[in-house]
Structure 1
Amino acid sequence: MKINFKTLTLKNFKSHQDLTVNFGEVTQITGDNAKGKSSISEAITFLLYGTDPLGSKMDPTPITYAADETLVQVLLEIDEKPVLLGRGLKKGKAQYYINEVPSKAGEFNELVEQLFDKELFLSLFNPNYFFSLHWEKQRAMVLQFVTAPANKEVLKELPELQGNRLGELLKKHSLNDIEEIHKENKKKKDKQYIAAQSRTKTLQEQLSQLTDPKQDIDSLNAEFGSIEKQIQELEMKRNQAFEKNREYDKVRLKIDWLQEQITTNAKIHWPKLKHEPIEKECKTCKQPLTTEAVKVVETDKENRMTEFRDAHEKLKTERNSLQKQLSEMEFIDTEELKEQISALYEKGQPIREAIRIHSQYEGLKTQVKNAEADENSTLQALNDSIFVLDSIKAFRAKEAELQAEKVQVLFETLSIKLFEQQKNGEIKNVFEIVMDGKGYSKLSLSEGIRAGLELREVLSKQSEVVTPVFIDNAESITRFKQPTGQLITSRVIAGQELNIEAVKA
């Protein structure tokens, strides 16, 4: 887009009661101080935005005289198409005109916004405007025309290990996400590593308090196994002996019980039965029994005596049989087996203790080994996150360097500072225009104008927007490169009235 000023008309604008300016490719404005030179640039920015050339609100009303109406009109040529815009105040009320047609503020502002961006236009029109912006806005304006380096481009410039590691991670996550993941992991692994170190140290101290048995565990186990086998064999014999002795005692107790029955029968029950009298009379009625009845009683007694003798003999026969069985049985004395088992237990005790000590020592050694492995694993994970975070810092530093190179190539004499590396390696966004090693704030008036013109040229070229440029205090700068677009200069000439002259470039 190319914007040209054709004609500016002022009615009661500040010190100008009635002024018409016809612009050429170069328009030179000269005159003494306070003759209204700067008001011409103010009139244009007031018309478009209601501000002065630095973007501040301004009062356009006359300074040394009174008037009911103020009006500014500019005939613009935008890509060779004319547009006549007007803005003014009538009895304190704002007035807007588009091609001489009265318009509402919204319609007027919408048209201006469609024509060109405010901050870009003011930066192109007034070389000093850009530097009045906050540094973040300055930075954004410059960077909007420069694409950030692609990840592949940055990774290629990093050391191989860093580039490969980040390259793999960037397949799954963004750089910011990777940073958050590994910041959190580093925080967690820091704590885990401290805990792992403490555990390893504690276990190592416990191990140092134990004496290394320095014995062959296989020999100890073999010797102890032999003793255990002997004990098991003896205990098996003892259990078998207990079982045989239980059978022996069972038979013996049965014999004793039978003998007691035989003795009781012989001494008590048999004499009683044998000497039991034959009753001759009825126990109830006391009548004498008949001979036949007495015979029955006698027969009953004989039968009972016969049954008693048979039972008695049976008891004796069973007793004799058990006595014979008992005589063939062996009662085993288990005390000797018990003493042998005890002796083997006593013999195995120091071996058992040696195995326990050896097991405790080896177990603690294993715990130490596992703790050291866990500590190393945690340290590796911690170092990996540190490496990734350092790689991200390196990535951002290299990305900043490449982006700065892309920006720097746009300028001829100016240096642009876009980034600043902190002590912790972090990259901080900054923005500073530097000329001949000096920041903009330290430049002289003429240096500041030259810096502004060069910056303006970059913005114009990159945005492909060409506007007129107004150089105030042009007498302070003796040489500068002809800018793109219409050039309007304002110079102080002592004792001279306001003079405006359009000349060929």
Structure 2
Amino acid sequence: MHAIYKELKVEEFKSHQDLTVNFGEVTEITGDNAKGKSTIPESISWLLYGTDTLGSKLDPTPLTYESEQTLVQLLLSADGKDLLLGRGLKKGKTQYYINEVPSKSGEFNEIVDQLFDKDLFLSLFNPSYFFSMHWEKQRALIMQYVTTPANKEVLKNLPEEQGKHLGTLLKKHSLSDLEKIHKENKSKQDKKYIAAQSRTKTLKEQLDQLPKVTAPLESLKVELRQIAKQVRELEEHYDKAADSNREYTKVQSQIQAIQDQIDMSKERWPLLKNEVIEDTCRTCKRPLDEESVEAVQADKDNRIAEYKANHNELLEKRNVLKAKLAEMEYIDASETLEKIRSIDSEGTPLREAIQAYSQFERLQEQVNEAEKGEKSTLESLNDSIFVLDSIKAFKAKEAELQAEKVQALFTSLSVRLFKQNKGDGEFKPDFEIEMDGKPYSKLSLSEGIRAGLELRDVLSAQSETITPVFVDNAESITSFKQPVGQLIICRVVAGQELKIEGKDA
């Protein structure tokens, strides 16, 4: 966009009742204080945006005379096409005109927005406007025309190991995502590493507390196997003796059981033997006949015969078992059992030593696993630390390269785009314009004008937008470089009425 002002008409705007300005390549506005010099560029910013040249709300209503209608019209050329814009204020109501045709605010604002971005235009028109914005807006306005260094360019300027490792990771994730991933992993691995160190230490302490076994494990096992063999052999003898003794005891128990039966049988014999044969009925007491008496006697004889047969059978069984017992031998195995216990006790210290070996090996394996886990955790932690350091270095180098690109745009000004936090060393966006080592806020009026003109020419070149620029208080500066675009100079001349001269180059 290349904008050229041709003619400005101002009616009842602040101190100007009726004023026409014909612009040249250079337009000089001179006069004493309070003659309305600065009001002329103000009328243009009010026409376009309803503000003064610093973007603040502006009331154009005259104070020194009665006014019916304020009206500002500007004829300008936009890329070679003439456009007449007008803004009026009548009875508190704003009126808009496009090429003298009354228009709605939306239509008017759309035309203006197509011509210029507001912050860009006001920065190009009034060099002081840029510095009135918040630093974030200043930075954004400068940075939108400067490309961020490509990742490859930044990586190439990092130490080789950082650049190579980070370059591989950036193929899969963005820098922001990588930072989130490794910050989370670092936090997790920090805690995990502390826990792993504690576990390794605890296991090593347990290992140190185990009894020391100096004899070789294999010799202990051989010795224990020999003891176990002796014990097994003795146990076989003991088991045989025990089996034999169980049979001996069983026969003894059987003899005793039969003897008990014999004793009981002997107790019944006198009763049976001495049983009296009655010759009268037990119930009615009547004498029995001879045949009945003989039947009773026969029953007794049968019972005696049965008794003797049973008793003799018990005696025979007892005699057979006694003969069997006489052929058997009770083996005293107590000595063998004592030997078993004695020899087995010799294996106790061996078993304890082997168990200690086993416990030692198990603990040693746990220590090895813990150390392996600790090492793995530390590697993961160190990798995240390295990546985060690489990201920090990347951002620092990116900031440096970006600052170099921006700085290359300026001649006498220096620009700070980032500041480094003291705590974590992180580079955070910042913005400060300096001249000769002094921030803009500390510059004199003339230095501020030169700084503003250089900055607006950079913005003009980068945005490919050329607009007129006005320099207020030009009397405070002896000389300055001719800016890009039309120049409007406001200069105080004591005792002089308002004078406007448009000159072509």
Task: Tell me the TM-score normalised to structure 1 length.
Answer: 0.90
1:160–1:444 Cα change, 3 Å:
same
1:175–1:293 Cα change, 3 Å:
same
Distance 1:337 1:212 in 2: 34
Matched residue type, 1:426: E
Give the 5 Å matches for 1:330-341: 330-341=329-340
Partner of 2:128: 128
Matched residue type, 2:504: K
CA shift for structure 1 position 412: 3.6
Partner of 1:454: 454
Give the 5 Å matches for 1:16-415: 16-265=16-265, 267-415=266-414
Distance 2:282 2:95 in 1: 160
> Does the alignment pair 1:428 with 2:434?
no
Q: 346-355 vs 249-258, which deviates more?
A: 346-355
Matched residue type, 1:21: V
CA shift for structure 1 position 275: 4.3
Tell me the secondary structure at the aligned position of residue 184 of structure 1: helix
Tell me the secondary structure at the aligned position of residue 37 of structure 1: coil
Distance 2:243 2:154 in 1: 89
Does the CA contact (< 8 Å) of 1:175 and 1:392 recur in 2? yes
Tell me the secondary structure at the aligned position of residue 401 of structure 2: helix
Partner of 2:415: 416
CA shift for structure 1 position 463: 2.0
CA shift for structure 1 position 245: 2.3
Matched residue type, 1:384: D
Does the CA contact (< 8 Å) of 1:418 and 1:429 recur in 2? yes
> Does the alignment pair 1:486 with 2:486?
yes
Does the CA contact (< 8 Å) of 1:86 and 1:96 recur in 2? yes
Q: 23-32 vs 72-81, which deviates more?
A: 23-32
Distance 1:275 1:105 in 2: 152
Tell me the secondary structure at the aligned position of residue 482 of structure 2: coil
For each residue in 1:329-383, what CA deviation from the matched residue of structure 2 results, as whole angstroms up to 9, or x when unmatched? 3322231122112212332233333334444444444444443333333322222
Matched residue type, 2:345: E
Q: Gaps spanning 5+ residues in structure 2: where?
A: none
CA shift for structure 1 position 137: 0.2
Distance 1:7 1:81 in 2: 14
CA shift for structure 1 position 52: 1.5
Matched residue type, 2:491: R
Matched residue type, 2:46: F
Distance 1:211 1:259 in 2: 63
Q: 350-359 vs 183-192, which deviates more?
A: 350-359
1:93–1:277 Cα change, 3 Å:
closer
Distance 2:229 2:489 in 1: 116
Distance 1:185 1:113 in 2: 48
Q: 456-465 vs 201-210, which deviates more?
A: 201-210
Distance 1:189 1:213 in 2: 38
Tell me the secondary structure at the aligned position of residue 38 of structure 2: helix
What number of residue pairs does the alignment pair up? 504
1:236–1:479 Cα change, 3 Å:
farther
Does the CA contact (< 8 Å) of 1:421 and 1:428 recur in 2? yes
Does the CA contact (< 8 Å) of 1:124 and 1:459 recur in 2? yes
Distance 2:289 2:300 in 1: 17
Matched residue type, 1:387: F
1:264–1:63 Cα change, 3 Å:
closer
Distance 1:237 1:397 in 2: 88
Distance 1:481 1:230 in 2: 115
Tell me the secondary structure at the aligned position of residue 347 of structure 2: helix
Distance 2:344 2:162 in 1: 66
Matched residue type, 1:178: L
Matched residue type, 1:181: I
Distance 1:59 1:149 in 2: 45
Partner of 2:438: 438
Matched residue type, 2:138: Q
CA shift for structure 1 position 279: 4.2
CA shift for structure 1 position 486: 1.8
CA shift for structure 1 position 122: 0.5
Matched residue type, 1:312: H
Give the 5 Å matches for 1:465-504: 465-504=465-504
Aligned residues: percent identity? 65
Matched residue type, 2:396: A
For each residue in 1:415-441, what CA deviation from the matched residue of structure 2 results, as whole angstroms up to 9, or x when unmatched? 321112223220111112233333322
Please tell me the root mean square deviation across aligned C-alpha atoms, in Å: 2.8
Matched residue type, 1:306: A
1:271–1:486 Cα change, 3 Å:
same
Task: Tell me the TM-score normalised to structure 2 length.
Answer: 0.90
Q: Gaps spanning 5+ residues in structure 1: where?
A: none
Distance 2:320 2:155 in 1: 106
Does the CA contact (< 8 Å) of 1:212 and 1:361 recur in 2? no
Distance 1:63 1:281 in 2: 171
CA shift for structure 1 position 139: 0.5
1:282–1:66 Cα change, 3 Å:
closer
Distance 1:327 1:165 in 2: 97
1:289–1:38 Cα change, 3 Å:
same
Tell me the secondary structure at the aligned position of residue 465 of structure 1: coil
Does the CA contact (< 8 Å) of 1:12 and 1:71 recur in 2? yes
